[in-house]
Amino acid sequence: MSAGYFPKREKVGLEDLFRGLVTAGHILHREEVTGEYGGHVSVRSPDNPATYWMSCALSPALVSSADDLVEYNVEDSSPVEKDAKTGFLERFIHGEIYKKFPAINCVVHGHTSEVLPYCVTDVPLKATTHLAGFLGGNIPVWDASAHAPSGSKQHLLVTDAKLGASLAAAFKPATSAGFIYSKVRSALPAQLAGNPPDPSREPDHAVVLMRGHGFTTVATGIEEAVYQSVYLKRAAKTQTAALTIHNAYFGHTVEGKVDVEGGGKIKSAKVKPEGSLKYLTDKEAHDAWEANQPIVGKSWALWCREVEVSPFYRNECPGSED
């Protein structure tokens, strides 16, 4: 038994970990965060911080037992067992994040349709409600094509350690501004296998968007990562609806100098939109996440029950006794 990943749990064994990992995948599918072509969730091993677990190359909805899970080395994302089942090509997303951030224990990657518009436009995704405070005020958008070797395939997938390391670095850019994710510490254990808390080795952002691809989110525990993934989708949906309503209701004001001699044409005109969207400030985002973070287990409990009673999902991983 080792340091836990679940709130109010001081200890957790691999049986609990496997069951939680499978359940997380089912929840992400049910909430339409992941789908047939997009998404995976992983968790660092509680007994060995140098390895992590994620499913083989199956849709998260179809993962049902420990036999579907693969253990990987953090160092190079190679499988620990030589005869392991075929894994995801993009497991380097997970391995390089675990390598860079020792306090991170769970990673989720998805291609959520509500989030994708903010991966292909210059419209920044922001925190619109208190439940999305973890987004902060500045979400990086990482571009795989800017870091791919010259002459390589431009498929936007993270299929090697170099691209994975570049994505991991985006969680802690050289110059950070606004909301600092690492300042909001989880109620979960903040260290793993004796690693002391070190702000310089913690991410500044909970979420990084990926141009033309999707998103990745990181957390200290499974429940927290699932919460962030679900509420990232809901935040994007809320913002898109707000922008739609705003643009339909408000007009635009044209400002400039009138050229009387030129027939009344406006010179040096500027189009100024009316009205505004009231996003959370950096402080509001910080304080909202600080208030919500300790109770993410409420959402987790509901989501667990929903997938447990659904005949579509199967979780054959036994749970251990406390």
Query: How many other CB atoms are found less than 10 A from the CB of residue 270?
Result: 10
User: 65: closest CA among 26, 107, 99, 113?
Assistant: 26
Cα(305)–Cα(320) distance, integer angstroms: 18
Nearest residue to 209 (alpha-carbon basis) of 125, 142, 155: 142
What gap in Å lies between CA 209 and CA 227, rounded to an integer? 17
∠ CA 150-86-52, rounded to 5°: 85
Q: Take residue 159 and report the two structure tokens written for it.
A: 């299929």
How far apart, in whole angstroms, are the C-alpha atoms of residue 105 and residue 209? 19
Give the alpha-carbon dihedral of 25, 31, 35, 38, to 10 degrees: -70
The Cα–Cα gap between 167 and 208 comes to 8
Catalytic residue, candidates 31, 36, 90, 308? 90
Structure token pair of residue 260: 């009387």
Q: Is residue 59 within 8 Å of 36, Cβ to Cβ?
A: yes
Exposure class string for 111-129: b at 16+ Cβ within 10 A, else e:
bbebbbebbeeeeebbbbe
DSSP assignment, residue 181? G
Is 90 a known active-site residue? yes
Positions marked active-site: 90
